[in-house]
Structure 1
């Protein structure tokens, strides 16, 4: 039951953020589904397989791939789906803990949380990089295949 509540909250958070940044209304539902899919991958990996860094990496990878597919399906830019779908994976909790630790002069804890936050941000960037790399490989393969049919 708690998982269903989390899925619903992830979907609503994505839709809400999409409304805040003026995502077109016809892309909101698809963006919410992309976000929930990425978050489910994150949740599964973080809970059953590995830690938060790999969970963020693979969750963002799924968000990146599904955003590319959604953008082709809806004939809209990829960023319309990427940015709102990324909201549940952003390390806001770690950023808050860094600032809180600095405010109470607990520099060792601030450093630990900052390192976690940097690793998560790097995993998010890498996930998008890998999904775009896979997309470019697919595009080149399609072009090569089309050229072979011509020649």
Structure 2
């Protein structure tokens, strides 16, 4: 029940962020739905006890969802991805990293910095893998459909 409520809260937060990003129409529902779906995947991977890997798996799902929705709705992928990835961004980790740095608590600074940059790297890597795979898929499909011509 608690995880369902948190997914609803994520949907509401992402929906509110749609106004900042000037999304319109169906994308105001589809983009936050991707964020809720990604958060659900993040929570379902919770028994792995590795928040960086949880973020990576959730980002793979969100990126794939964003690619599909962008093709169906004929909008840029970033329009959906920006909203959907929002719940996974380690904003709190970055805040505490800077707080520990300013206070001079070096061991906690290093620990939080590792977590924050690891999570950010997992997000970037997940987006990169899915984006590259989709691009490779379309280029292979394009060249497979193109007839082979011999040059004289």
TM-score, length-scaled by structure 1: 0.90
Counterpart for residue 33 of structure 2: 33
Counterpart for residue 125 of structure 2: 126
Matches of 2:147 and 2:37 in 1, distance apart?
Answer: 36
> Quick check: 81-90 or 99-108, which moved more?
99-108
> Quick check: 62-71 or 36-45, which moved more?
36-45
Counterpart for residue 43 of structure 2: 43
Matches within 5 A, 1:88-107: 88-107=87-106
Matches of 1:137 and 1:38 in 2, distance apart?
Answer: 24
Counterpart for residue 21 of structure 1: 21
Counterpart for residue 72 of structure 1: 71
Q: 1:148 to 1:51 in 2, by over 3 A?
A: farther
More helix by share: 1
1:12 aligns with 2:20: no
Q: CA deviation at 1:121?
A: 0.7
- The answer for unaligned runs of 5 or more in structure 1 is none
> Quick check: 50-59 or 81-90, which moved more?
50-59
The answer as to whether partners of 2:41 and 2:58 remain within 8 angstroms in 1 is yes
- The answer for unaligned runs of 5 or more in structure 2 is none
1:56 aligns with 2:58: no
| Cα RMSD (Å) | 1.7
Matches of 1:13 and 1:65 in 2, distance apart?
Answer: 21
Q: CA deviation at 1:61?
A: 1.2
